[in-house]
Structure 1
Amino acid sequence: MTDTVNVAILGASGYTGAELVRLLLRHPRVRVTALTADRKAGHAMADVFAQFSGIELPRLTSIGEFDLDAVDLVFCALPHGTTQQVIADLFARKPSLKVVDLSADFRLTDPAAYEEWYGHPHQALELQGGAVFGLTELNREAIKAARLVANPGCHSTTSILPIIPLLRERLINPDAIVINSATGMSGAGRGAKEEMLFSEVSEGVHAYGVGRHRHTAELDQEYEKAAGRSARATFTPMLLPMNRGIYATITVTLEAGATAEALHASLATTYWGEPFVQVLPLGKAPHSRHVRGSNNVQIGVIADRGPDRAIVISTLDNLVKGASGQAVQNMNLLCGFEETDGLGQLAIFP
């Protein structure tokens, strides 16, 4: 690709679409040339998100109206189950296109698993085989050579990054991983929902999707790949009355001879030099407020009182590293840019 790429964002009226715009406006080598949002087609982006007032951006259009010939790369920030046919049509019209998909439509490599978790057959199997799971730090080389990157889910990213190295090095039991993952409300999207009203979620916390949350399928897939055998984590997501962030508390059972110190050393070695992953000193727990608004992940390892257990805590911003920031990180790899381009913002604190 050239020094500057032209990108389109499909689904720009949602939270992840708006976050992509926010990040890309500061990217030195990207030009946003098309924004789509079917229900908001014809509106200015500033009419939908007032934070973009005074910034020159394309008007929102429907997907069929933008000039694909003028676009090098497409971000799909569309709802799950709607993206497969859209991307198939885009590739049919322009085979040289690069796509980063933020939905779940291409994350699962097994079509049977997709049908089980999403309730319908996969609609673009011919593309699924070439899709790369876009957890950047773990699949960097494959992403560079891809044309379709399936951005992981926010819960998945939070719980895969700290656990994969431990499974690869046989430090923990793959059958005894217990994850409690608390997320902010923006993870539910921008659509109006009664259960998302302020009075419904404030001043409390509750679990949802217990035992059946769809991100569990991504955990199964990636944990099994790392462990080299079956791995079934217990995953419980919870909703917190905050706008952004995910905070995963993961209890693991140690394999014989392993210690919390060994887990910490494994993670510190794996992520040494990674620009967006910080492994904190042994015994220190991260805070979600310290990654808010950034593309950073912070991981802590703490010894449990039982000698055969440890607690691994991971936190990130669900709209940045959990979605749009990781998508930009993957775009940078696809385009041969510096991986950190457009992603240098620090956390917003307090």
Structure 2
Amino acid sequence: MSLSVAVAGASGYAGGEVLRLLAAHPDVTITTVTAHSNAGQPLIQVQPHLRSLAHLTLVETTPENLSGHDVVFVALPHGKSGELTEHLGDDTLVIDCGADHRLTDEADWAKYYGGEFYGAWTYGLPELPLRAGGRQRDNLLGAKRIAVPGCNVTAITLGLAPGIQSEVIRSDDLVAVLAVGTSGAGKSLKTHLLASEIHGSAAPYAVGGSHRHNPEIRQNLTAAGGEGVSVSFTPVLVPMSRGILATSTAVLQPGVSAADVRAAWQLTYAHEPFVHLLPEGEFPKTADVLGSNSTLIGLAVDEAADRVVVISAIDNLVKGTAGAAVQSMNLALGLPETTGLPMDGVAP
């Protein structure tokens, strides 16, 4: 029996990517797509790459239009998801691709986002290793409310969590610099995202710990076993439409060898379908994961600095958003976790 699905915010990049993945999912039927300013237009007019969904028309984003579905994906700006999803029935699986239900600490929400705090939902990062053992996927089984992680958060968390859980790195001196594609900023018109502004240039933003993903990264790495987690995270906008390349470093614990480091990451991800540790001396490129739900990780030890260097690559719209949403849906519904999700990227 096919599950009925609605996607709110279907005219944006995240909503469009959710639709692209769901269009190939054998267990769902997309019945409703909603938007704000684009309501009333054929979906194909604003998402021309989704040819198989040309029969759908965008309708207003209201609780009434979203009610009655088996699954609802919400891809709206922060502050908009919470006020909408509180009106949806408990029987519906609701998956929020936005920020409204990620943070457990109301003070963090007030500092980094502001506005009403809607409370945390089950966190949608299945591969996250937990302090007490197991993975976050165990908590997703049967869940009815799921919060999808931030894209930068996913790249850093998957890069560093194995070292923290296995206690081979310290968690109080973490540094991450990310090269981020422009689609991470959303589809709204912004001057600094114009081709003439971004082409041939790289520009840091949210410098000095002001990025809204900071508390979520600390939250995840604490859940993985970190004590006094401190992370300095700097994103850099680069001229590519998709992708995140995160270079994360951490101080090694005393007496830890390079072999201990590699063993920790290998053990953590040995059986993960979508997270792959590359052979020693190899490092990923964002092109390697374009269009895929995979995370590729390269690992090295900088002996002179006594630090581990982890380079992780994801597609910010797939593993960073829509892929995590569909993966979490599969787990919540008892479907095979990999259903409808591409492991392979697109090249060249």
Report 1:248-327 matches (<5 A): 248-306=246-304, 308-327=306-325
Offset at residue 283 of structure 1 (A)? 2.3
Question: Relative to total residues, which structure has the larger helix share, 1 or 2?
Answer: 1
Offset at residue 57 of structure 1 (A)? 3.6
Offset at residue 56 of structure 1 (A)? 4.1
Match of 2:206 in 1: 209
Gaps of 5+ in 1: none
Contact 2:8 2:76 in 1 (8 A): yes
Which piece of structure 1 moves more, 340-349 or 56-65?
A: 56-65
Match of 1:103 in 2: 98
Report 1:5-16 matches (<5 A): 5-16=3-14
Counterpart residue type for residue 214 of structure 2: T
Gaps of 5+ in 2: 129-135
Q: In structure 2, the residue corresponding to 1:19 is in which secondary structure?
A: helix
Distance 1:219 1:265 in 2: 23
Q: Are 2:242 and 1:244 equivalent residues in the alignment?
A: yes
Q: Are 2:170 and 1:173 equivalent residues in the alignment?
A: yes
Q: Are 2:151 and 1:154 equivalent residues in the alignment?
A: yes
Distance 2:319 2:344 in 1: 12
Contact 1:75 1:99 in 2 (8 A): yes
Distance 1:190 1:265 in 2: 41
Distance 1:268 1:259 in 2: 14
Distance 1:286 1:32 in 2: 34
Q: 1:270 to 1:46 in 2, by over 3 A?
A: same
Match of 2:124 in 1: 134
Contact 2:81 2:100 in 1 (8 A): yes
Contact 2:18 2:323 in 1 (8 A): yes
Which piece of structure 1 moves more, 307-316 or 195-204?
A: 307-316
Contact 1:111 1:121 in 2 (8 A): no
Give the alignment partner of residue 222 of structure 2, picking from 224, 233, 237: 224
Q: In structure 2, the residue corresponding to 1:346 is in which secondary structure?
A: coil
Which piece of structure 1 moves more, 53-62 or 306-315?
A: 53-62
* Cα offsets for 1:185-230 (capped at 9, x unmatched): 0000000011111111110101100121011111111122323421
Offset at residue 150 of structure 1 (A)? 0.6
Give the alignment partner of residue 117 of structure 1, picking from 106, 112, 115: 112
Counterpart residue type for residue 247 of structure 1: L
Counterpart residue type for residue 302 of structure 1: A
Distance 1:328 1:273 in 2: 19
Offset at residue 52 of structure 1 (A)? 2.4
Offset at residue 305 of structure 1 (A)? 4.0
Distance 1:214 1:305 in 2: 32
Counterpart residue type for residue 118 of structure 1: Y
Match of 2:133 in 1: none
Q: 1:337 to 1:89 in 2, by over 3 A?
A: same
Counterpart residue type for residue 330 of structure 1: S
Counterpart residue type for residue 177 of structure 2: N
Counterpart residue type for residue 61 of structure 1: V
Q: In structure 2, the residue corresponding to 1:334 is in which secondary structure?
A: helix
Taking structure 1 as the reference length, what is the TM-score of the superposition?
0.94
